[in-house]
Amino acid sequence: MNHYSIDTNCVQGTYRPKNGEPRVLPICQSTTYKYTSAEELGDLFDLKVDGHMYTRISNPTVDAVEKKINLLEGGVGAMCTSSGQAATLLAVLNIASVGDNIVSLSAIYGGTLNLFTVRLKQFGIEVRFANPAETDAQLDALFDERTRLVFGETIANPALDVLDIERFARIAHAHGVPLIVDNTFATPILCRPFTFGADIVTHSTTKYMDGHATVVGGVIVDSGHFDWKAAGKYPELSKPDESYHGVVYTDAFKEAAYITKARVQLMRDLGSTPQPLTAFLLNLGLETLALRMERHCSNALTIAGRLAQNPNVEWVNYPGLADSPFYALSKKYLPQGQSGVISVGVKGGRNAAVKFLNSLELVSIVVHVADARSCALHPASTTHRQLTDEQLLAAGIGPELVRISVGIENVEDIWADIQQALEKAGR
Ligand X SMILES: *Cc1c(COP(=O)(O)O)cnc(C)c1O
Of the candidate spans 199-207, 239-247, 313-321, 353-361, the one that interacts with ligand X by CB under 6 A turns out to be 199-207
Instruction: Report the distance separating Cα 411 and Cα 40, nearest Å.
Output: 57
Is 182 a binding residue for ligand X by CB under 6 A? The answer is yes
Instruction: Report the distance separating Cα 114 and Cα 108, nearest Å.
Output: 10
The distance from CA 91 to its chain's CA centroid, rounded to whole angstroms, is 11
Of the candidate spans 78-86, 269-277, 344-352, 417-425, the one that interacts with ligand X by CB under 6 A turns out to be 78-86
Of the candidate spans 23-31, 58-66, 84-92, 411-419, the one that interacts with ligand X by CB under 6 A turns out to be 84-92
Q: Find the binder of ligand X among 186, 216, 237, 408 (CB under 6 A).
A: 216
Task: Specify which residues 220 forms β-bridges with.
Answer: 79, 202
Is 83 a binding residue for ligand X by CB under 6 A? The answer is yes
Q: Find the binder of ligand X among 61, 70, 147, 206 (CB under 6 A).
A: 206
Q: CB of residue 49 vs ligand X: minimum separation in angstroms?
A: 33
Q: CB of residue 151 vs ligand X: minimum separation in angstroms?
A: 11
| Cross-sheet strand order for the sheet of 364-365 | 313-317, 341-346, 401-405, 375-377, 364-365
Amino acid 372 reads: A
Q: CB of residue 154 vs ligand X: minimum separation in angstroms?
A: 9
Nearer to ligand X, 159 or 346 (CB): 159
8 A C-beta contact, residue 80 and residue 205? yes
Q: Are strands 218-222 and 313-317 parallel, antiparallel or unpaired?
A: unpaired
Question: Which residues, 115 to 174, sit near ligand X by CB under 6 A?
Answer: 153, 157
Is 345 a binding residue for ligand X by CB under 6 A? The answer is no
Nearer to ligand X, 9 or 88 (CB): 88
8 A C-beta contact, residue 153 and residue 114? no
Is 188 a binding residue for ligand X by CB under 6 A? The answer is no
Task: Compute the half-sphere exposure of residue 317: CA atoms within 13 Å on the CB side of its CA.
Answer: 23
Residues 28-67: x/- map of binding to ligand X (CB under 6 A)?
A: ----------------------------------------
**Cα three-residue angle 60-63-68, rounded to 5 degrees:** 130
Nearer to ligand X, 200 or 422 (CB): 200
Q: Find the binder of ligand X among 94, 187, 204, 283 (CB under 6 A).
A: 204
Nearer to ligand X, 313 or 370 (CB): 370
Phi, psi of 286 (to 5 degrees): -60, -30
Instruction: Report the distance separating Cα 395 and Cα 141, nearest Å.
Output: 24
Rounded to whole angstroms, what are the CA distances from 173 to 143, 155, 196, 327?
11, 21, 13, 26
Instruction: Report the distance separating Cα 300 and Cα 320, nearest Å.
Output: 9
Ordered DSSP codes for 190-211: H--GGGGT-SEEEEETTTTTT-
Question: Which residues, 347 to 386, sit near ligand X by CB under 6 A?
Answer: none
Nearer to ligand X, 163 or 237 (CB): 163
Number of residues interacting with ligand X: please give it, by CB under 6 A.
Answer: 16
Print burial letters for 23-37: b (CB count within 10 Å at least 16), e (below 16): eebebbeeeebeeee
Of the candidate spans 56-64, 172-180, 203-211, 321-329, the one that interacts with ligand X by CB under 6 A turns out to be 203-211
Is 305 a binding residue for ligand X by CB under 6 A? The answer is no
Is 275 a binding residue for ligand X by CB under 6 A? The answer is no
In the bound complex, which residue of the shown chain has the CB atom lying closest to ligand X?
A: 84
Q: Find the binder of ligand X among 104, 184, 187, 405 (CB under 6 A).
A: 184
Is 109 a binding residue for ligand X by CB under 6 A? The answer is yes
Rounded to whole angstroms, what are the CA distances from 354 to 48, 170, 268?
59, 43, 46
Q: CB of residue 382 vs ligand X: minimum separation in angstroms?
A: 15
Q: CB of residue 157 vs ligand X: minimum separation in angstroms?
A: 4
Task: Calculate the dihedral angle through the C-alpha atoms of 131, 133, 135, 140, rounding to the nearest 10 degrees.
Answer: 10
| Residues lying near ligand X in the complex (CB under 6 A) | 83-85, 88, 109, 111-112, 153, 157, 182, 184, 204, 206-207, 216, 218
